[in-house]
Structure 1
Amino acid sequence: MVDSRRAAMHTPSPALVTGVRTALAVLSAALGLTVSGLAFASLRMARRVVTPSVRVSDTRILSLDTAAQTITLARTQDTQLPGRYGLFTTGTEDYIKLGSVLAEDDASVKRKLLTEIGAQTRISADAAFSGWYYDRPEQLHLPFTSELIGSPVGPCPAWLFPAGPGEVWVIQVHGRGATRAECLRAVPVFHAAGITSLVVSYRNDGEAPRSRTGTYALGATEWRDVDAAVGFARRRGARRIILMGWSMGGAIALQLELNSAHRDVIAGLVLESPVVDWRVVLGFHARQMHVPAAVTGLAIGALQTEWAAPMTGAGAAIRFDRLDVIARAAELRHPILILHSDDDGFVPSDASHDLVVARPDLVEMQVFDVARHTKLWNYDQERWSDSIREWLRRQDLSGD
């Protein structure tokens, strides 16, 4: 009798069993939804990383004074910067040049116009701030030719600015979401040193041919198009070649340094606001957008796997370990000059500093502040140009 009472006391009631099962089912469903949500968010982030970006309006034009040739913009971290810049617009003008700041308050910034604007000008209030300054090669007033460079994806357009005897060339590589025009600011300083400039395009940048997927590989494939430009330069008489990369163009230039069959003619690299390790950049942007670290990790994991390539749009796995130049620092052979602002705001300078620590024998860095991303020339053209000139002199890379 006692044993039967004890058994009854330890036998769960049907209501308890039902409750436990219901709770487990709810927890299981919640866990499934959480995992599904993380997977969806990570794939979405991965696709965004490799999809070529389009120019978006980030600046508001408040007023335009054609009599005084001034423009007033809504105040942002970019529009308040000292120096010379550009503004992509829509209307009767598609690009205008901006000069110095004339007046500012908490909400607005008035700047001098360096593009003459007539009284009949009509421009939309929405615009995009730019560090390009020059948007066409003719604006440099230097002799140039338009070229086509045969690459693995087809003919890639380029601009060639001959200078000096023609034995030392610099190949200019633009960044993500940009085109060749981004690099035009650098042509004069190299031209003055007798160095020929080849300003190139690469797959999926809107000027060069589209790859099968139409997406970026963050430098993992794009370097081959620029490598074709190195071969082009050699056939035209180049004996020593400098690679200059801007932002993602820096990642591409570094991949050439590590992988090119033409490494024997590479004489050095100049990197402006470069991507040295993509994981640092993606982590930074995720934190800025308050994306959980788990999503970022899953997104990078998806981009690194072949099976996820159809879902991310990458076309093939992107090996982030191969793109991590700090981990591969021992493989570097040539001197590198890095120009980077510590308040970049898009590509953190941390990895650039780390590369200097990893290879102090080859890498030197000019640290800017205030200048932000790829706007160092605009902010302090004299220091930017002097840094390159002095580095060229120390490396004996003048073309004269």
Structure 2
Amino acid sequence: MIILITLAAICGSLALLLILIVIYYSLKIRRQGFSIIREHIGYFSQITYLDSKSVTIAPSDQDRRNLELPSISLASREGSIVAGGRVIYHQNQITRSVISAHGNIQQDSRIRTDLFIHQKNPKYSLGLDFCEIKFKSELGDLNAWIIPGDGETWVICVHGHRSNRRESLRLSLLFESMGLNQMLINYRNDVDSPVDKGGYHMFGLTEWRDLEDAVRHVRDNGAKKIFILGHSMGGSIALQFILKSDLDSSVDGIILESPALDLNGIITEKAKTVPFPVMALLPPIKNMVSKLVKLDWSELDYISKASQIELPVLLIHSTNDQTVPVTQSDQFACHIPNLYEYLKLEGAPHAAAWNFAQDKVELSIKTFINHVASEGYIKK
């Protein structure tokens, strides 16, 4: 009898432990993936030498890899430096060339690396004239930067998960040189934007309506050709818009960089790196997340819906992406009816194709837009 009671107690304790593991990881996934969080910015690296031509950094472990990219920004509370050129290693420090500097950044400044390169608005960062506008959405006014061009072709830029409009400024000089009008948008749950009543980032399931309102805005302002650029979750938003919106035929092409094409699959890949028994408990964990966030995982699977994306697509991804597996884009590329090009890089971090291979990325985007805008395609 004592043995049976002991076994029952052990089984009960084990069951309770497994339940607690399911609850813990469900809440962790909800927080990391869906919850609206204003993340704290830390400055963990330090400038040890700076002059007008070069900068030397004592990097933190998390900044070291970014400091090896061809183009990177060093951001401090006082200012920023765009660094590039040859990577010089000495002891535990890295030296790069100074491409440009803003503000009062100086030797001994604490810094962080920033893949977005540009720290403020288009005028401050790039010398480009722009307007800060508000456009109507179902939740209220949303902010956007408008950088005017000299024609009737527009590109609407959609940033990624917990990101901001600065993400697309890396391509603004290219678009400006092409004469394109640019609209860099905020969407629901961004800083200074209306908060959705659900209170979650939904990887396109709700945010596509904000993109629809942006498309309506540029169309009402004379756009004849419209392209969408989506980074990471911004790619999910663009695809959901194409699948759901009555205005999808107004768009001529989409550019997807490191798109989050199947969140369910992304979580599965992440779970493989977590100790046992998380992988075995993934079905109940995902089931709890779906109930907490109120979503159907299949709605976030854009790979299975690839055949429904009929307009031209430029797909950009890297084999080194540690956030969204490149295998998702590999599968997606096999099923898109009108894939213009799949630019598959080797070595770029997530959503940092421009930082890693600026010339290749800009040439692909320029060729894609020019070709599609001039040749067009048969819209539905």
Change (3 A) 1:290 1:27: closer
Q: Which residue of 2 aligns with 1:77?
A: 65
8 Å contact kept, 1:194–1:398: no
Shift of 1:289: 4.8
Q: Which residue of 1 aligns with 2:357?
A: 380
Shift of 1:158: 0.3
Match of 2:319 among 301, 322, 342: 342
Q: Which residue of 1 aligns with 2:81?
A: 96
Shift of 1:128: 2.8
Structure 1 residue ranges (4+ consecutive) displaced by more than 6 angstroms after TM superposition: 117-120
Counterparts of 2:117 and 2:374, CA distance in 1: 27
SS at match of 2:83: strand
Q: Which residue of 2 aligns with 1:25?
A: 9
Which of the pair has more CA radius of gyration?
1
8 Å contact kept, 1:179–1:207: no
Counterparts of 2:68 and 2:36, CA distance in 1: 28
Counterparts of 1:301 and 1:61, CA distance in 2: 44
Change (3 A) 1:97 1:388: same
Q: Which residue of 1 aligns with 2:129?
A: 143
8 Å contact kept, 2:43–2:76: no
SS at match of 1:133: coil
Matches within 5 A, 1:119-268: 121=106, 124-125=109-110, 127-135=111-119, 136-138=121-123, 139-166=125-152, 168-268=153-253
Shift of 1:85: 1.5
SS at match of 1:79: helix
Match of 2:348 among 345, 367, 371: 371
8 Å contact kept, 2:47–2:107: no
* Sequence identity percentage: 25
Q: Which residue of 2 aligns with 1:14?
A: none
Counterparts of 1:157 and 1:43, CA distance in 2: 31
SS at match of 2:347: coil
Query: Does 2:272 align with 1:287?
Result: yes
Shift of 1:267: 0.8
8 Å contact kept, 2:50–2:106: no
Deviations 1:204-260 (A, max 9, x none): 121322223543112211111111111111110112211110111111111111111
Counterparts of 2:17 and 2:83, CA distance in 1: 50
SS at match of 1:293: coil
Shift of 1:160: 0.9
Shift of 1:97: 2.0
Change (3 A) 1:153 1:27: same
Change (3 A) 1:294 1:68: same
Match of 1:319 among 275, 293, 296: 296
8 Å contact kept, 2:56–2:95: yes
Q: Which residue of 2 aligns with 1:11?
A: none
Deviations 1:348-383 (A, max 9, x none): 211111111112543531011112222211222111
**Amino acid paired to 2:361:** W
Under a length normalisation based on structure 1, what TM-score does the superposition of the two structures give?
A: 0.84
Counterparts of 1:181 and 1:120, CA distance in 2: 20
Q: Over the residues paired in the alignment, what is the CA RMSD in angstroms?
A: 2.5
Q: Which residue of 1 aligns with 2:307?
A: 330
* Ranges in structure 2 where 5+ consecutive residues have no aligned partner: none
Matches within 5 A, 1:271-310: 271-290=256-275, 292-305=278-291, 309=292
Shift of 1:52: 3.6
Shift of 1:327: 0.9
Query: Does 2:45 align with 1:57?
Result: no
Q: Which residue of 1 aligns with 2:333?
A: 356
8 Å contact kept, 1:169–1:242: yes
Q: Which residue of 1 aligns with 2:27?
A: 43
8 Å contact kept, 1:173–1:244: yes
